[in-house]
A and B are shown apart, each in its own frame.
Chain A
Amino acid sequence: MTISSPIAKIKKTVFKVVSLVSVSALLAGPVFADYPQRPISLIIPFGTGGPTDISARALARSLTDEVAKPIVIVNQTGGGGAVGSATVANTRGDGYKMLAARTGSQSVSLAMKSNMPYSLADFKFVGIYELNPIVCVTRSESGIESMSQLIDLVKSKPKTVTYSSSGVGALQHLAGVMVLNAFGVENPLEEAIHLPMNGGGGAATAVLNGTATFVCANSSSVAGFINNGQMKPLMVATKDRVEGIDAPTAAELGHPELEKLVGWTGIAGPKSLKNESVEAWTQWLKTTTSEPGFVDTMTRLGSQVVYMGPADAEEFIHAQYTAFRGIVEKLGMQIN
């Protein structure tokens, strides 16, 4: 290689320019932040109009004041959230493709299915901003008033009690099994019937029209039915009682371990996600989750706005995954 070759000269110049630009960027500080320099795609692995979609869109809308570049919502549906999640797991770590991560796709499915195209280690979580408590409900006319009555029914008439869910590998599915098992049903897979209904709306409808006996679902999806007296809440899987839902907590019934059952929405990038992106998102989530307008909207939709930073979120999700994995292995629920 000769030093005088024109290409080398160009290379040299380019290097000079680049280093000059980056140095000046460093000096200029946050005003010329490196991230984001172009619009960020936020991938929602579920369809338009679903709970994840509505929540992530509300977040993106409230972030418009914070983020210099637009956040573009992209719905990539399919496989219970697997398709969209896999896209982000395999993307570059520059932070321009982020994922609206959700309980179903990022913890339950991973715990239950061996054929997932990604693992928990493929993601770097930048935070969790929303929690959905789980409530177990039955139809008001079912005659079931408490968890103990439900359990008695399962034990006295095996293979008649049904619980619905939005599909195999959804939180409602695992929640039904976990609750039954915690309350002493040795083998819930054999003694009760799981009815996958293709969507959260269908799962609640199945309980309302008597197709299924009970469902353990996100409070937001059933709170209205409880208020209207169409459904009877049996238990909330939270530490404290939930306002507007007249039911004992899991701990009051002697099963605090069920508090692991909680739906959440967070933001994740691929595991190679750069620190500057993590920091930027941490800051954005922190600001948004304390913004009254956003909190108000989310609360009305039945969610609890929380803020968990990268470390907390990571710990929370791993703990939940481990608990779920435990019950899956214990009962042999693994899907191949």
Chain B
Amino acid sequence: MSFLDTLLEALSLVTQSGSILALAIGVVIGVICGAIPGMSATMAVALTLPFTFALEPVVGILLLLGVYKGGIFGGSIPAILIKTPGTPASSATILDGHPMAENGQAGKALGMALYASCTADIISNLALILFAGWLASFAMGFGPPEFFTLMVFSLMIIAGISGDQLMKGLVAAVLGLLLATVGLDLVYGTDRFIMGNVNLMGGLNFIVVLIGLFALPEIIAFAIHPSDKHGNVRQLGGEHVTFGEYKRCFRTICRGGVIGAILGSIPGIGAAPSAFLSYSEARRKSPNKANFGKGEIEGVAASEAGNNGVCGSTLIPLLALGIPGDVVTAIIIGAFMVHGIQPGPLLFQDHGSLVYALFMGLILSSVFLLFFGSFSIRIFKYIADVPKSILLPAVLILCVFGSYAINNSLFDVMVMFALGWLGYFLMRLEIPAAPFLIAFILGPLLEDNFRQSMLMSNGNFEILFRGWITWGFWILTAVTLFCLIKSHFATKKTDSQSPPKPEAGNNLKGEALS
């Protein structure tokens, strides 16, 4: 069968009504599930899986992919509107998305999130279609030492996000690292800091920490000082993104998409670190640096591009090597195997038409995402108009429900409240919460990969300098560090010359306090 025949067969597979319907339904389910805090994209995909057993392979897999993509975008809706990320991937979107909503630009933030998501999605899909083989072999070069150096480099994000208040950012990061050590020790299998509590054996759940740290402080602050600036918001809630703004952010979006596509192809990283990396890169390069964290539209664009950029390329290790890069692709592998199809190098030979049908479906899914996304924004943005005295109690209920739903455990709800108070005190001390979160995500990865490297080399540090990938990341780290120090001294100079300005870098200062 010639290549053209394969393509035609693929086209007929994807254009059958079932495939298109599955994709559309998938995106809708994804957006809705993603928008519910505590229902992550992963859970939505896992719950959809059993329904695909009875469907044709193309239809079933497209349904799952639709749910996944929709879910990653859907997570940004509550992140922007109620400061509670629907999925972990959208935690970076809070940083600028929520301040924008507070300024009455909810419609604008959501619109930019959608356009950035769709654009990055297309970039990621193209990476999958054009560079799958190349990126897969790059990803296979990633052992524990390479991971470790990548994590060292990524920790620079903390400096990028804390901005001028590096000390406070570091304090937050150390707190995050500390909390991340709770749970099972990877190498020895012993318990760490669980204080005899079985519920702590698994460590603190990421989403629970996230909800507690971001959503609750707002509610606590409001409960202490109720103030309804409601009329202000309603007038402005309907603003749209202009083409000029999209054009201004286009470079950032493309950069985010590429970062997402590369990180997504490496098994085991996931969308959240990619979103943060894209965000901190955007901040570093942007002329509006000072406005980041206070409602900068470019920040929303960067983080949403970073997390959706992962979606297409996570399929690279799956399709090219048969390796599931994250939980979502592990579920999708199940959908392949139920139909007797084995993803891997032979997939393109044995089931070429299926692969190309999936590619076409993926591109189509970006279009569906744009369509259903803008529809959902039209509905959801009115949440921004709800007065805080009604909205926040409802959010509190969602927070409790969300943290309970993840693990069906009341303990998690208590953890959320404890973290909420911690977040509140951090907010009062003007310590940004984002570095806390990044350290909480990256810390365990850093530690595990370091210890795995040391196991591999019997304790020899040379392994951290093996191959060009490790050297590449060490050099990147050094360059970033150098730039940071340089810019730090540069701002100090201008600060001493100009009259004192109001403190910048209060990423997460709540409205109720200002």
Chain A residues engaging chain B, CB cutoff 8 angstroms? 47-50, 53-54, 57-58, 61, 74-80, 82-83, 86, 112-113, 115, 117, 159, 162, 167-169, 193-198, 201-202, 204-206, 208-211, 223-225, 227-230, 297, 300-302, 335-336
Contacts and interface: CB of A to CB of B under 8 A. Distances in A.
A168 B327 contact: no
A75 to B, nearest CB: 7
Given A49-B49, A198-B186, A225-B322, 17 more contacts: A49-B45, A49-B330, A57-B49, A58-B50, A78-B407, A83-B409, A193-B458, A195-B455, A201-B267, A204-B323, A209-B140, A209-B141, A227-B344, A228-B342, A230-B345, A300-B340, A335-B189
Interface in B39-88: 42-43, 45-47, 49-50, 53
14 contacts: A49-B49, A57-B50, A61-B50, A77-B202, A77-B407, A79-B202, A83-B201, A168-B185, A168-B186, A196-B189, A198-B186, A211-B452, A223-B342, A230-B344
A208 B187 contact: no
Contacts of A115: 190-191
Interface stretch (B331-339, B367-375, B492-500): B331-339
Contacts of A76: 407-409
Given A113-B189, A209-B143, A336-B190, A300 B452 contact: no
Given A49-B327, A82-B201, A208-B140, A228 B344 contact: yes
A225 B344 contact: yes
Interface in B181-216: 183-191, 198-199, 201-203
B144 interface: yes
A144 B272 CA distance: 39
A117 B198 contact: yes
Interface string B20-49: 000000000000000000000011011101
Nearest to B203: A78
Nearest to B346: A228
B176 interface: no
A75 B452 CA distance: 28
For the residues of A in contact with B, the DSSP-based class is mixed
B448 interface: yes
B342 A224 contact: yes
Contacts of B143: 206, 209-211
A206 B321 CA distance: 13
A301 B346 CA distance: 18
A101 B235 CA distance: 56
A298 to B, nearest CB: 10
Contacts of B331: 48-49, 54
Contacts of B327: 47-50
A113 B202 CA distance: 15
A224 B337 contact: yes
Nearest to B323: A205
Contacts of B455: 162, 193-195
A323 to B, nearest CB: 20
Contacts of B330: 49-50, 201
Nearest to B451: A196
A53 B267 CA distance: 21
Contacts of A159: 458
B328 interface: yes
Given A159-B458, A201-B267, A205-B323, A195 B452 contact: yes
User: Which 4 residue pairs spanning A and B have beta carbons closest together?
Assistant: A78-B202, A168-B189, A79-B201, A48-B46
B268 interface: yes
Nearest to A78: B202
A49 B142 contact: no
B506 to A, nearest CB: 35
Contacts of B270: none
Interface string B107-141: 00000000000000000000000000000000011
Given A53-B46, A169-B189, A197 B452 contact: yes
Nearest to A115: B191
Given A195-B452, A224-B322, A230-B345, A54 B334 contact: yes
B324 interface: yes
B264 to A, nearest CB: 15
A83 B456 CA distance: 30
Contacts of A205: 267-268, 323
B150 to A, nearest CB: 15
B345 A301 contact: no
B320 to A, nearest CB: 11
A303 to B, nearest CB: 11
Contacts of A197: 452
B73 to A, nearest CB: 20
